[in-house]
């Protein structure tokens, strides 16, 4: 369980994990706003260095990784397996705590939000545009649950 006291006053990084791209977003110390950041290429040789640069420049003190819950399709099982490895790597490489949070539907919600905002379809379909918005939604949902209930239940990644 993650408690309000554990993350109070800390900047958090939200991550929307994908097999090709990783969208990211950050919140302020008061948890009043979430800002979509950017997208990193997961298979880039510089990926971990770039992520470390984001963590340092944004002064991140905790990482929230979205995990789709209940994805039983063969592709979903493969993504969960890759996500588990990604979280293991995060925990090995960085001192910041890593929280795994249910992100079910975040990409669909990001696409719908962009549509409702009047963002043209061509722009919505640009690579990575939805990923950074999905990361912001994951982090926002995590913060809303945390500040509403005082705790957030983490998703389990055990195989």
Residue 127 placed within a domain: yes
Cα–Cα dist 101/153, whole Å: 8
Whether residue 125 is predicted with pLDDT greater than 70 in this model: the reply is no
Q: Which of 4-13, 61-70, 104-113, 124-133 has the lowest mean pLDDT?
A: 104-113
Whether residue 119 is predicted with pLDDT greater than 70 in this model: the reply is no
67 against 128, higher pLDDT: 67
Residue 159 placed within a domain: no
Whether residue 48 is predicted with pLDDT greater than 80 in this model: the reply is yes
Residue 143 placed within a domain: yes
Residue 130 is classified by DSSP as: H
- According to DSSP, the residues that pair with 65 across neighbouring strands are 15, 100
Residue 71 placed within a domain: yes
Residue 72 placed within a domain: yes
Residue 36 placed within a domain: yes
Residue 41 placed within a domain: yes
Cα–Cα dist 8/102, whole Å: 20
Residue 92 placed within a domain: yes
Count of domains for the chain:
1
Whether residue 87 is predicted with pLDDT greater than 80 in this model: the reply is yes
Cα–Cα dist 138/144, whole Å: 10
Cα–Cα dist 136/144, whole Å: 12
Q: Which domain holds residue 18?
A: 2-152
Concatenated DSSP letters of 4-16 = HHHHTT--EEEEE
Which whole number is the average pLDDT over 54-78? 84
| Those residues with Cβ within 8 angstroms of residue 120's Cβ, 6 or more apart along the chain or in another chain | none
Q: Give me the CATH number covering residue 32.
A: 3.30.420.140
pLDDT tier, 63 (very low <50, low <70, confident <90, very high otherwise): very high
Cα–Cα dist 111/107, whole Å: 6
Asked if residues 2 and 151 have their Cβ atoms less than 8 Å apart, the reply is: yes
| Those residues with Cβ within 8 angstroms of residue 118's Cβ, 6 or more apart along the chain or in another chain | none
Q: Identify the pLDDT of residue 73.
A: 55
Six-digit token pair at 47?
């990926």
pLDDT tier, 76 (very low <50, low <70, confident <90, very high otherwise): confident
How confident is the prediction for the chain on average, in pLDDT? 86
Segment 134-157, tens digit of pLDDT: 899 999 999 999 999 999 887 766
Cα–Cα dist 80/53, whole Å: 26
Kindly tell me the sign of the dihedral angle through the C-alpha atoms of 141, 98, 45, 82: negative
What whole-number percentage of the chain has pLDDT above 70? 78
């Amino acid at each position: 369980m993650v408690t309000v006291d554990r993350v109070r006053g800390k900047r958090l990084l939200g991550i929307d994990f994908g097999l090709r791209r990783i969208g990211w977003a950050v919140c302020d110390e008061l948890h009043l706003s979430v800002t979509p950041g950017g997208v990193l290429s997961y298979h880039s040789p510089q990926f971990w260095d770039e992520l470390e640069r984001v963590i340092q420049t944004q002064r991140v003190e905790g990482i929230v990784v979205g995990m789709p819950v209940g994805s039983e399709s063969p592709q979903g099982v493969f993504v969960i397996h890759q996500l588990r490895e990604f979280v293991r790597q995060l925990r090995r490489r960085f001192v910041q705590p890593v929280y795994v949070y249910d992100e079910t539907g975040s990409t669909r919600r990001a696409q719908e939000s962009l549509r409702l905002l009047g963002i043209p379809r061509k722009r919505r379909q640009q690579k990575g545009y939805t990923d950074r918005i999905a990361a912001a939604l994951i982090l926002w949902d995590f913060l809303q649950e945390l500040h509403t209930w005082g705790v957030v239940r983490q998703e389990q990644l055990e195989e």
